[in-house]
Amino acid sequence: MTTTVEPAAPTTVEPGVYDIPAELYHSDPIPGGSLSSTGARKLVNHCPAKFRHDLDHPQPHKQVFDFGTAAHKVVLGDGPELVLVDAARWDTNEIKNRIVKIRAAGNIPLKKPDLQRVHDMATVLSQHPEAAELLTPGSGQAEQSLFWPMGNVWGRARIDWLREDGIVDYKSARSAHPDAIQKAVQEHGYHVQEDFYRRGAVALGLAHEFTPFRFIFQEKEPPYLVTVAELDFGWREIGRQLTQRALYLYESCRDSGHWPAYTTDTALISPPAWLERQYV
């Protein structure tokens, strides 16, 4: 079930899968607001006050995200146009103005080495048996936006690659080593992301509780190594509980209008257990 809607903020949104531009999705077209996986992770990893501030003060574009977006474009075949800016220096007024125009058009300016790098990454990924099979053209739909109600809270998610038999999320990373992936899951909350996306897919009849959810991690430096990963039951249970906490925080703060900080009391700071064991 995919619904194509015009790229303008609707006054109402029905639960479903929408093929809409990323800008419209990130602007949150749900009247009254909705909770995304990113927002859920911010609520449980930081605090409601931080979540509310960032919601009211959207961050300006950060160039550091360009490369990841470009990699998604080449690998998934969906996203903004990649525009080569073949200049030795990007600090001249002429090039700065050109870059501003490219971004204003919704596209991504890239230096020649970076553009070549994302294409090289896509080539390597196409040679990885499992990753290539998961992302076979025609086997799924790229960048699909899901909107669904969870009790009194609307959820939204944007799935990289939605297959009939599963969900695939592609991530460019510093390291695709399994140990590094474990740390990345904890640091970036990918277990919450999986739980959140799965909830949306199940609610909309696109998946069931045990539908495969695979992450494809690919290193950003040669030889652009690839690891396909699944989170085990332990990670999934932690993700489920954290999502539940995020939903509770979002609804209670939204309804009360109070978005608390980390703590209202004096914090008693103890040493971590591993350090305490060395001295006690």
- Amino acid occupying residue 178: P
273, exposed or middle or buried, with CB in 10 Å at 0-12, 13-18, 19+? Answer: exposed
Residue whose C-alpha is closest to residue 229's, from 192, 194, 188, 199: 194
Question: What pTM was estimated for this model as a whole?
Answer: 0.89
Residue 26 one-letter amino acid: H
pLDDT one-digit tens code per residue, 146-188:
999 999 999 999 999 999 999 999 999 999 999 999 999 999 9
Of 131, 134, 157, the residue nearest 144 (C-alpha): 157
pLDDT of 87 reads 86
Residues forming a β-bridge with 150: 153
Torsion of CA 245, 149, 52, 39, to 10 degrees: 60
Task: Tell me the C-alpha distance between 55 and 45, whole Å.
Answer: 16
Q: What percent of the chain has pLDDT over 70?
A: 94
The identity of residue 66, as a single letter, is: D
Give percent of the chain above pLDDT 90: 75
State phi, psi for 38 to the nearest 5 degrees: -60, -45
- What tokens appear for 156 in the block? 């939204």
* Cα gap 37→71, rounded to integer Å: 21
Q: What is the pLDDT, as a whole number, of residue 9?
A: 42
Alpha-carbon dihedral 9, 14, 19, 20, rounded to 10 degrees:
10
Answer yes or no: are the C-beta atoms of 213 and 197 closer than 8 Å.
yes
Using CA atoms, how far apart are residues 140 and 228, in angstroms rounded to an integer? 17
The kind and range of the H/E element at 168 are strand 166-173
* pLDDT score of 3: 56
**Number of residues written out for the chain:** 280
Which domains does the chain possess? 32-258 (3.90.320.10)
Using alpha carbons, select from 216, 195, 217, 215 the residue that is nearest to residue 207: 195
Q: What is the mean pLDDT of the chain?
A: 92
Residue 110 bridge partners (DSSP): 84
CA distance 19 to 274: 48
- CA gap 243, 246 in Å, rounded: 5
Phi, psi of 163 (to 5 degrees): -100, 165
